[in-house]
Amino acid sequence: MNTFRAARFALRAKPTASFLGRRTYADAAGPSDKIRLSLTMPHQAIFKGTDVVQVNIPAETGDMGVLANHVPSVEQLRPGLVEIIEEAGSTRQYFVSGGFAVVQPNSQLSVNAVEAYTLDEFSIEAARAQLAESQKIASGQGSEADIAEAKIEVEVLESLIAALK
């Protein structure tokens, strides 16, 4: 159990050379140094079983980098940037609205979100205008539900604006 904990802890940190060589779980599927990524939304699949090198996800418990042979886990996502490092070494970034990431034992990673867009599809002015409005509602005299709704929006938009800068 102790070694499992240590491995999990190590994998949570940003990747280092030392654990690239480590085998923790299944060795079977796909090329052993790649992770098979599916990035899907209800209306579209951006990645569908594509082999990539590394995926960084904004989990509720903290940002984590997922490489091949990661310990299986289920992570709830915060609104934030999913970063995908592809085989050619290029990086792709998507801002997701929140959802779940499931790391399966055979180096498969499924990231499910309601909305995911590349950063160039956002308008920072629109985000800022919305943020100002939501902040006003959040600190206003509205009903508890309205305030809670505005607080969620503030959190999402602050994260988005930080990513766009």
Residues forming the site for another protein (CB under 8 A)? 42-43, 60, 78-79, 95, 97-99, 114-115, 117, 121-123, 126-127, 130, 134, 144-145, 147-149, 151-153, 155-157, 160
Residue with Cβ nearer another protein (20 or 162): 162
The residue to which tokens 């800022």 are assigned: 128
Task: Provide the Cα torsion 55, 42, 72, 107; round to 10°.
Answer: -60
Do 116 and 41 form a contact (C-beta atoms < 8 A)? Answer: yes
* C-alpha–C-alpha distance, residues 153 and 124, integer Å: 15
Do 106 and 28 form a contact (C-beta atoms < 8 A)? Answer: yes
What's the min distance (Å) between Cβ of 152 and another protein?
5
Residue with Cβ nearer another protein (83 or 155): 155
What's the min distance (Å) between Cβ of 91 and another protein?
21
Residue with Cβ nearer another protein (10 or 127): 127
| Local structure of 7: helix, strand or coil | helix
* C-alpha–C-alpha distance, residues 151 and 154, integer Å: 5
What's the min distance (Å) between Cβ of 62 and another protein?
12
What's the min distance (Å) between Cβ of 39 and another protein?
15
